[in-house]
Amino acid sequence: MKKSCGKKYGFLTAVILAALGSTGCTGGSREAVQTEAENENIVIGFSEVGAESDWRVANTESMRNTFTEEKGYELMFNDAKQKQENQISAIRNYILQAVDYIVFAPAVEEGWDEVLQEAKDAGIPVIIMDRMINTEDESLFTAWEGSDFYAEGVTAMEWLEEYLEEQGRADEEISILHVKGTVGATSQIGRTEGLENGVAAHENWEIAACLEGEYTQAKTYEVVAEYLETDTDIDVIYCENDNSAFGAIQALEEAGISYGVDGDVIIISFDATEAGLTACMNGQINLDVECNPLNGPRVEMIIQQLENGETPEKYSYVDETYFVPEDLTEDLIASREY
Ligand code: GZL
Ligand code: ZN
């Protein structure tokens, strides 16, 4: 499991060898060190975006449940609190500790080349999950797995077109309030592009305003409540995750504006977390587009391929669906893993 000492030293091995002198060549004890090293777990340095949303918490849980000691892993974890600089320093720390693999969900797409070059120079494979980086040099990472966020946005627009048709509102002027997720995150870029292309394809749809909800309930509540002070003639609020939808709903309720299945404002959301699907089942959210946070098993498959000397797919996408209230029951929601 553990790479042989000759190829790359694990942290513990490096410490022992350092204690034994630079080459560690002291006869028997070197064999002992190698034996010790060979029994070590696979050490994974994981840099997580933060704990900003129910989705993110489920994502972290999936990684912790997958990379357990019993299964031969040691998972080093860092919560970057949504700050790229914290992720970069965590990755540098993992390089120093000579982990076997670095896994991270990049908070934003830009600004990773330098630190990933350092990981490459240290011979540590980097696996990117969930969001993506923007780089000219694809050799800086071994594999990426996650969701197709643009496709999620397209799903929402196709549903909205159909829903409005069913409501006899196909030719009505539709005003959409757009609440973005963390600006510069792949999930924000993709879902926003899906919305913008959908609006461009419907001359009677318009985006009333673009607000930044940062994927959190608190920030979304703040910006939507402020917006509703100037304009309440909104037909749809497009929230780029469930926690933003909860914030928008909080602001609508305070403003006395009805929403959801029987209300004036259509709520579109993403993630389909347990809390989001419960609100959808109750008719508060009209559409919840799934974004699967169970990245642990998918990252493990990539690592196992690498451990076996195989080459994983460079990009692998997870299949996702969407939910409307009539799809949902408590049993269905309880049967899901997040
Ligand atoms: C999507 C992920 C997003 C979720 C948000 O894969 O990057 O980040 O949609 C989370 O809930 O904050
Ligand atoms: Zn916008």
| Ligand 2 center–CA 180 separation, angstroms | 7
DSSP 82: T
Q: Atom 3, ligand 1: which residue's CA is nearest?
A: 187
Locate the ligand 1 atom nearest the alpha carbon of residue 216 and give its number: 12
What was the pLDDT predicted at 38? 57
- Model confidence pLDDT, tens digit, residues 244-254: 999 999 999 99
Q: Indicate whether 25 pLDDT > 70.
A: no
Q: Is 53 in the pocket of ligand 1 (CB under 6 A)?
A: yes
Sort 263 into a burial class: Cβ within 10 Å, 0-12 / 13-18 / 19+.
middle
Q: Is 187 in the pocket of ligand 1 (CB under 6 A)?
A: yes
Q: Is 55 in the pocket of ligand 1 (CB under 6 A)?
A: yes
**Are 293 and 338 in contact, with CB atoms under 8 Å apart?**
yes
| Ligand 1 center–CA 242 separation, angstroms | 9
The chain-wide mean pLDDT, for the chain, equals: 92
Ligand of minimum distance to the alpha carbon of 318: 1
Query: pTM for this structure?
Result: 0.89
Long-range interactions of 83-88: CB distance < 8 A, separation 24+: 83/50, 83/107, 84/108, 84/111, 86/47, 87/47, 87/49, 88/112, 88/115
| Ligand 2 center–CA 191 separation, angstroms | 10
What was the pLDDT predicted at 104? 98
pLDDT above 90 covers a percentage of the chain that reads 88
| Ligand 2 center–CA 196 separation, angstroms | 7
